Amino acid sequence: MTKYVELHAHSYYSLLDGASPPEELLRRAAELGMEALALTDHDAVYGAVPFVKHARELGIRPILGAELTLAGAQEPHHLTLLVENATGWANLCQLITLARHHAPKGAALLPEALLAEHTDGLIALSGCRLGAVTTALRRDDPSSALQAAKRYREWFGRDHFYIELQHHRLPHDERLNAELATIAEQIGVPCVATNNVHYARREASRLQDVLVCIRHLTPLDDAAALCRPNSEYYLKSADEMRALFAAYPEAITQTRRIADRCSFELTFGLQELPVFPTPDGADAVTYLKRLCGDGLNTRQLTPTEPIDRQLTYELGVIERSGLANYFLIVWDIVRYARAQGILCQGRGSAANSLVAYLLHISPVNPLEHDLVFERFLSDERQSVPDIDIDFQADRREEVIQYVYTRYGHAHAAMACTFITFRARSAIRDVGKALGLPPEVLDRAARTIDTFKSGRIAEAGDLEARLGSRATWQQLSDLADQLDGFPRHLGIHNGGMIVMGAPLAARLPTETATMPDRYVVQWDKDALEEAGLVKIDILGLRMLSAIAESAQTVAALTGQPLDLDGLRFDDPAIYAMVSAADTIGVFQVESRAQQQVLPRLQPRRFNDLIVSISLIRPGPVQGNMVHPYLRRRLGEEVVSYPHPRLQPALAETLGVVLFQEQVVKVAHDLAGFTGGQGEGLRRALGSKRAYEALDRWHTAFLDGAGRSRVDQRLADAVFDTLRAFGGYSFPKSHAAAFAVLVYQSAWLKHYHPAAFYTALLNHQPMGFWSPAAIVNDAKRHGIRVLPVDVNASAARCTVEAGTIRLGLNQVTGFGDVASERVVTVRQSGAFQSLADVGRRTQLPPRLLENLILAGGMDAWGKTRRSLVWELGKLDYRPDTLPLDLPEDRLNLPPVSLLDVMGLEYELLGLSLRDHVMTLYRAQLRERGVLGSRDLDRCQDGDAVTVAGQILVHQAPPTAKGHHFITLEDEDGFINIIVRPDEYAQYRRVLRESPLQIIEGTLQRSRGVLNVIAGSAAALR
Amino acid sequence: MTRVWLTGAPITAEHDAVGSPLRFTWAGRTHTVQRVANQWRVDVNWWQLRLWRDYFKLTTDTGLLVIVYHDLVDDAWYVQRLYD
């Protein structure tokens, strides 16, 4: 029987023009008994890696290719290209790169002349209805069609060009195919049948129509001309294709012959890296050893026996893996940053390596923290480990530019990332296509949980407004299918690829939104899977804040701060962290952290590592937090699910907290090798790896069974690992971050003014708003001075131990506007509003913001009268500087509440007394307690409290509980709202900034929470 | 003159293995298909009322030139258009 191979298939990586992921196409191909399948997305190989990976798993031969968009004499047209061999891959990459670089972002257009230069190793099929040949035939222009076909035959060669026949049961398909077959005969090339597949199964044609509508921003009702007229673009069986092409049986057999010719396999490796030029021509290993020797000195390490042994071992593994050159490249980047005074440190698994520590890539000595080098690198592990480095966010660009300069733009690019549809955006987009009114979709998207669970009746009149249950069902089904589809391309947050050979010959690049930035067509998972080394150059605002704090302190004291020299052993720092006095401190400042720290009572560096790893969705979801705390506090006996797990879990009292422990548990209980353990850990961390996880589950139970572990117990342990999921921190990562926890806590304790100032200057960052940071500063006795047009610098500054807010804190004042005020002011202080306007020429909108934020209070005029004055002022450059006589108008003063409201709006904070002080007398009379009063209350007391909502959280792990932090003039009140109460008081809790809450006090080891019984707006 | 039945006039039809009509009975009279001049499939409007149909433009031994369609949703046949 004739076999059929589909050679023209689009996946959802054709971005809004393909309704199936590659794996779905492959699964269907497997069901149909197809031996091979080609992936030909539009001008891209985005899906190449997952396609190849899944194809191999299913035993299908993957053929790579693309449908290219060409520009010639006529309108843009399509051409199907298939990769025959490695030369063909290089040419396809170059063609896609050229096409992308000749079009605006997101589009592609390849000048035909360039195509001719890159045809080796590629097989071309003449294309779909938009191919040059077919387009000409559809225009009734057979001679142009013939010319186009001849042109392709010349460029690709007689053996590498085919006339592509398609039959979608459209009115003219039969005639077109007859004409195409004639042309094939005339020019002496074979015909080949394809189905221009856009989805795996017919049912998905609806999703395809919706995608087309999303792409064209058109509702389905108006999209008849854009959508295909039927649903025949699915992956068809050999029988179906044979029936459609009964007149051209050769076109079917040809598919198999072409597939057999395409033998290219994707492989990459370390050899792709550029060679780091060592001094004196030393080889990379020798030079790396020399640098490690230097590192022992700079890290002030005595080469003891364990250090010697570890270093020799690591260098051996690095040498055998051929990674020395890679380390040198990373070291060079870090060295450059340090030389420029840019703070940086490695994160992630690199912190497991002593070599990385000695090269100053990572900040922790792995031997001091029992870190496991094999998590980073081992002789067994085949893949190249990523090294992720955080740089201070405000200067990361300098580092990226250094890499571009050092290796050249043709050799360096950023990884891409796919912006995907999320449940909410999917509802909105599908709904728009279905023509539903935006306000109804907003409602549906907001109440998505109710919506998706099918309990639409609970959403009140939503069903009625959606028109009908059928419409709702369509919306819900399609949005569900769309969830997770890639929508467009973005730049990965820092992942850089560098290559010795020009990138374009290895994988395509395209332009990004940022000027002078190129992204490769693979995301980080694809790059890793393909074995391509990525260096993550990440921006971390906390590093910027730490760097700025250190500079401020150095400038004020004349002494440089040696943060690297901190010994992590200051009891005062641990006391502060244990008291949850951590607003602004890296990683341990969130409300959740603050709830746990008083119970955890960190006393040493390792406790900071635990704290970072513990308060994460993973451990919370896995129900790890309370067992760990109870065990730490001695309230629960430390036990292990199986005695064999004691070595792995002893450091965390029997509870799984670190990724490293997943690998150890899998080894100790189920006999997994390190590589298998790592595979399991990755599957646990992947959102879409259900099938892989099932396989690991079986392997885990089998392995445990072989070593006579009770199946139920093994199952329970696996469930624990599953719950722990991919949310976990590797311990090495937590250790690197713990350094920043300590440094930021140290700065907050010893140099608070400088620290708070830096925090304000680098917002947004962390958990708390500027208002919370300023209030925290005030509670620590630091004065905060207002924005003042004559006194403020562009950024917040420290003046004699007090903080002066910078102009950058005023809404709308970016760097440019702030700098302009400061520059203009150098010629003399501003005398009046008119003077500010004339000299700065800032737009009235910004001046109004400055007035209302209090920046001109120093002149003694009310803000309202200044705004009034601004309205009459004409300070354009060509007007005479006439001061108009002042109005005698008496404007009524604005209430204090209004003033504060405006300050919040324009500054994000208010320096006045806390808003709650305005209500305090009234509240006292009503018996409402403040945050300080709660200290005197007992567990279980009925209390009424009030405050301003600072944080409102409903983490998905909390099963419908809402956590609200109220702030008053003295501190915070933590509120827990249970699901029933939330349902009842949702509106008031969402809409009123000031709340009165009645409830019950819960007191446990220094942590206070009020369990809300009712809520009301404070007026 | 061309007569058009917007929603189609029901007929009964016999078809071959691939779904092409061989003969049909319309208003009590049987017509045998001589030649299918063109055929096409539509699948549109699914978000309201799905139109999933195989259309055939054909001539009959009775001298008709008609467009008939096979409604694939309800598996029924209709005449849509008659060319005089």
Q: How many CB pairs under 8 A join A and B?
A: 37
Q: Report the alpha-carbon distance of residue A608 to residue A364 in Å, rounded.
A: 13
The single-letter DSSP state of residue A395 is G
pLDDT tens readout for residues A318-376: 999 888 999 999 999 999 999 999 999 998 888 899 999 999 999 999 998 878 788 78
The DSSP annotation for A129-162 comes to: TTBHHHHHHHTT-HHHHHHHHHHHHHHH-GGGEE
A280-296: per-residue pLDDT in tens? 889 999 999 999 999 99
Q: For residue A596, give the DSSP letter.
A: H
Residue A449 pLDDT > 70 = no
Cβ neighbors of A575 (< 8 A, separation 6 or more) are: none
Task: Say if CB A497 and CB A531 are below 8 A apart.
Answer: no
Residue A452 pLDDT level (bands cut at 50, 70, 90): low
What is the side-by-side order of every strand in the sheet holding A387-392? A344-347, A387-392, A534-540, A486-498, A412-420, A518-523, A509-511
Decide if pLDDT at A912 tops 80: no
Identify whether the C-beta of residue A60 lies closer than 8 Å to the C-beta of residue A36. Answer: yes
B43 and A227 within 8 Å at the Cβ level: the answer is: no
- Closest partner residue to A206 (CB to CB) among B18, B41, B46 is B46
What's residue A9's pLDDT? 98
Measured between CB atoms, which of A205, A220, A474 is closest to B43? A205
C-beta of residue A913 within 8 angstroms of C-beta of residue A980: no
Answering whether pTM is above 0.80, one says no
Distance from CA of A243 to the nearest CA of B (A): 8
Is A961 in contact with A999 (CB distance < 8 Å)? Answer: no
Helices (H), ranges, A751-814: 752-761, 770-779
Could you give the count of Cα atoms lying within 13 Å of A979 in the half-sphere of its Cβ? 5
Q: Which residues contact residue A226 at a Cβ distance below 8 angstroms, ignoring those fewer than 6 apart?
A: A212, A213, A216, A218
Kind plus residue range of the DSSP H or E element containing A207: helix A205-216
Confidence check: pLDDT of A24 > 80: yes
Three-state SS for A29?
helix
Contacts of A565 (CB under 8 A, 6+ apart): none
Q: Is the pLDDT confidence value at A456 over 90?
A: no
pLDDT at residue A577 in the model: 97
Quick one: which H or E segment has residue A632?
Answer: helix A625-632
CA atoms A301, A306, A311, A312: torsion sign: positive
DSSP count for chain B of H helices, then E strands: 0, 6
CB contact under 8 A, A171 and B42: no
- The closest alpha carbon to A67, from A111, A130, A153, belongs to A130
pLDDT, one tens digit per residue, over A82-124 is 999 999 999 999 999 999 999 988 899 999 999 999 999 999 9
| Cβ <8 Å between B43 and A231 | yes
- The span from the CA of A808 to the CA of A763, in Å, is 10
Q: Bridge partners of A523?
A: A416
- Three-state DSSP class for A780? coil
Chain A, nearest residue to B55 by Cα: A171
For β-strands A110-111 and A61-71, DSSP reports them as parallel
- Of chain A, the percentage scoring pLDDT greater than 90 comes to 58
Number of residues that this document lists for chain A? 1019
- H or E stretch including A339? helix A324-339
Residues in chain B: 84
Instruction: Test B42 with A229 for CB contact under 8 angstroms.
Output: yes
**Contact present, A812 and A851 (Cβ < 8 Å):** no
Contact A230 B42 (CB under 8 A): yes
Q: Measured between alpha carbons, how far is A263 from A47 in angstroms, rounded to an integer? A: 18
> Helix A625-632 to helix A591-600 angle, to the nearest 10 degrees?
30
Average pLDDT over residues A387-393: 93
Give the CA distances from residue A530 to residues A220, A325, A534, A669, in Å, rounded to whole numbers and listed in that order. Answer: 39, 19, 11, 31
Q: At residue A461, what is the residue type?
A: D
Of A853, A724, A720, the C-alpha closest to A786 is A853
Residue A801 sits at the vertex; the CA angle it makes with A796 and A807, to the nearest 5 degrees, is: 15
Across the interface, of B18, B44, B47, the residue whose CB is closest to A243 is B18
Q: How far is A19 from chain B (nearest CA, A)?
A: 16
Q: Sign of the C-alpha dihedral, residues A68, A73, A76, A78?
A: negative
Question: Do residue B38 and residue A224 have CB atoms under 8 angstroms apart?
Answer: no
- Collapse the DSSP code of A867 into the 3-class scheme (helix H, G, I; strand E, B; otherwise coil) and give the result: helix
- pLDDT tier at A454, thresholds 50, 70, 90: low
A389: which 2 tokens? Answer: 């480095």
pLDDT computed for residue B65 by the predictor: 94
Assess contact for B67 and B40: CB atoms under 8 A: no
Residue-wise pLDDT for A255-265, tens only, equals 999 999 998 98
Rounded-to-integer distance, Cα A727 and Cα A1007, Å: 26
Q: For residue A231, which residues of chain B lie inside 8 Å, CB to CB?
A: 43, 52
For chain B, the distance separating the N- and C-terminal CA atoms, rounded to the nearest angstrom, is 5
Asked, as a colleague might, if the bond just before A764 is cis with ω within 30 of 0, I would say yes
Q: What count of Cα atoms within 13 Å lies in the side-chain half-sphere of residue A944? A: 12
B47 interaction partners in chain A (CB closer than 8 Å): 206, 220, 434, 471, 474
Between the alpha carbon of residue A379 and those of residues A114, A350, A535, A776, A842, the distances in Å are 45, 16, 21, 50, 63
Q: With bands split at pLDDT 50, 70 and 90, how would you rate the model's confidence at A888? A: low
Nearest to B44 among A168, A171, A229 (CB): A229
Is A998 exposed, middle or buried (CB count within 10 Å of its CB: 0-12, 13-18, 19+)? Answer: middle
**What would the DSSP string read from start to end of A690-740?**
HHHHHHHHHHHHHHHHHTT--HHHHHHHHHHHHHHGGGPPPHHHHHHHHHH
Query: What whole-number distance in Å separates Cα of residue A92 and Cα of residue B4?
Result: 51
Q: Is the alpha carbon torsion for A570, A574, A575, A580 positive or negative?
A: positive
Name the closest residue on chain B to residue A204, using Cα atoms.
B46
pLDDT digits (tens, 9 = 90+) for B36-73: 999 999 999 999 889 999 999 999 999 999 999 999 99
Residues of A in contact with B39 (CB under 8 A): 169, 171
A895 exposed, middle or buried (CB, 10 Å; 0-12, 13-18, 19+)? exposed
In this structure, the dihedral spanned by the alpha carbons of residues A418, A424, A428 and A434, taken in order and rounded to 10 degrees, is 100
pLDDT of residue A422: 87
- Which range, of A12-16, A605-609, A705-709, A914-918, averages the lowest pLDDT? A914-918
pLDDT of A922-981, one tens digit each? 899 988 998 888 888 888 999 999 998 888 888 777 778 888 889 888 888 999 999 888
Nearest of A641, A807, A804, A811 to residue A714 by alpha carbon: A641
Contact at 8 Å (CB) between A198 and A114? no
- Mean residue pLDDT across chain A: 89
CB atoms within 10 A of CB A574: 20
ipTM rounded to 2 decimals:
0.93
Say yes or no to pLDDT of A742 above 80: yes
Query: Token pair 């919706």 is at which residue?
Result: A210
The rounded distance, in Å, linking the Cα atoms of A42 and A110 is 12
- DSSP state for residue A956 in the 8-state scheme: G
Q: Is residue A223 within 8 Å of residue A216, measured between CB atoms? A: yes
A140 sits in the region (left: phi over 0; alpha: psi -120 to 50; else beta) called: left
C-beta separation of A134 from A180 below 8 A: yes
* E strand or H helix that includes residue A309: helix A305-321
pLDDT of residue A478: 92
Give the relative orientation of helices A605-614 and A591-600 as an angle to the nearest 10 degrees: 140
pLDDT tens digits for A202-230? Answer: 999 999 999 999 999 999 999 989 999 99
At A803 the three-state DSSP class reads strand
Q: How many CB atoms lie within 10 A of CB A1009?
A: 18
Q: Which amino acid is at A649?
A: L
The residue of chain B nearest to residue A224, with distances taken between CA atoms, is B44
Q: Map residue A862 onto helix, strand or coil.
A: coil
* Residue A893 pLDDT grade (very low, low, confident, very high; cuts 50, 70, 90): low
- CA–CA dist A1014, A989 (Å, integer): 10
3-state secondary structure of A767: coil
